[in-house]
Amino acid sequence: MRSRRPIAALLAAVTAVTALVGCSSGSEESRCATDGGIISCAPDQRSAPPKIAGELLTGGGYDLSTARGQVVVVNFWGSWCAPCRAEADDLEATYQATKGSGVTFLGINIQDNKDKAVAFEEGRVSYPSLFDPASRLALALDIPPNTIPATVVLDRDGRIATVIRAAIKQDGLQPIVERIAAEQPAPNGSR
């Protein structure tokens, strides 16, 4: 009978460890599905819209809440980052292909020199970019982008629908954007 006590102690230890392990899994990310570096959140699992506003690379301010009703593809990039440079054409092509269905794009330039960022953008992408070298805007996202490049798709209510923590091509991004755009009808008067 004496040997039961250590077994009970072991059982208690295992329970305690399981409880510890189990208790911190309340993050926003864990409520969403992750597949191949792409995090997709179902419409009923999305958290409140992040506040994204700042200064544009080309000057002037921009507040993402003015695009409410649009699906917004937010791309974090830097002109020094080789994968970001390679995916820029795909992002622009996706933008051109989807902007008719109530989709807009926004770049967020991080850890960069402004001159170099502007020189990269010119003639390459037609959507605007915010200048945010410190990644202050990334702090507003419940599911942080973590990588560079990273692409976040916000639904028509401004909530995070998808986070892509890698470079992506048009054939990967466009179906995601179209699926999220189809969740709700585009608002009247959209481009």
Partner 1 sequence: MTALDDRPAIPAEAPRRRPNRVLALLRNSWRQLTSMRTALVLLFLLAVAAIPGSVLPQRGVNPEKVDQYFVDHPELAPQLDRIGAFEVFGSVWFSAIYLLLFTSLIGCIVPRLRDHARAVRSRPPAAPKRLERLPQHAVLPAPDAAPADPEAIAAMLRRRRWRVEVRGNEVSAEKGYLKETGNLLFHTSLIAVLVGVALGSWYGWHGNRLLVAGAENEFCNTRQQYSEAKLGARVDSADLPRFCLTLDGFDARFLPSGQPESYRASVTVDKLDGPKRAADFSVNSPLRLGSANVYLLGHGYAPILRYTDRYGRSQTSTVPFLTTGDTNLTSEGVAAFPDANVDPKTGQRPADQQVAFEGLYLPTAPDAAPFVSSKYPAERNPAVVLVAYRGNLGLDAGIPGSVYQLDQRQVTNGKLKQVGDRKLSPGEKWILDDGSSLEFLGTKPYVTLAVRYAPGQTMMLGACVLLLVGLMGSLFGRRRRVWFRVTSADPDGGSPTGGSSLVEAGGLPRTEHPGFAVEFAHLLAALGGDGRADGRAGAAREGVE
Under the rule (CB under 8 A), what is the footprint of partner 1? Answer: 3, 6-7, 9-11, 13, 20-21, 24, 27-30, 76, 79-83, 85-87, 110-111, 113-116, 119-120, 122-123, 133-136, 138-139, 142-148, 150, 167
Looking at the Cβ atoms of 103 and 153, the one nearer to partner 1 is 153
Kindly state the smallest distance separating residue 76's Cβ from partner 1, in Å.
Answer: 7
Looking at the Cβ atoms of 105 and 120, the one nearer to partner 1 is 120
Looking at the Cβ atoms of 136 and 191, the one nearer to partner 1 is 136
DSSP state at residue 127:
S
Looking at the Cβ atoms of 70 and 79, the one nearer to partner 1 is 79
- The kind and range of the H/E element at 107 are strand 103-109
DSSP 37-106: TEEE--GGG--PPP--EEEBTTSSEEEGGGGTTSEEEEEEE-TT-HHHHHHHHHHHHHHHHHGGGSEEEE
> What tokens does 95 get?
């933008």
Kindly state the smallest distance separating residue 158's Cβ from partner 1, in Å.
Answer: 18
Cβ distance 39 to 33 under 8 Å? Answer: yes
Determine the Cα–Cα distance for residues 90 and 173; give it in Å rounded to an integer.
9
Looking at the Cβ atoms of 29 and 178, the one nearer to partner 1 is 29
Kindly state the smallest distance separating residue 3's Cβ from partner 1, in Å.
Answer: 4
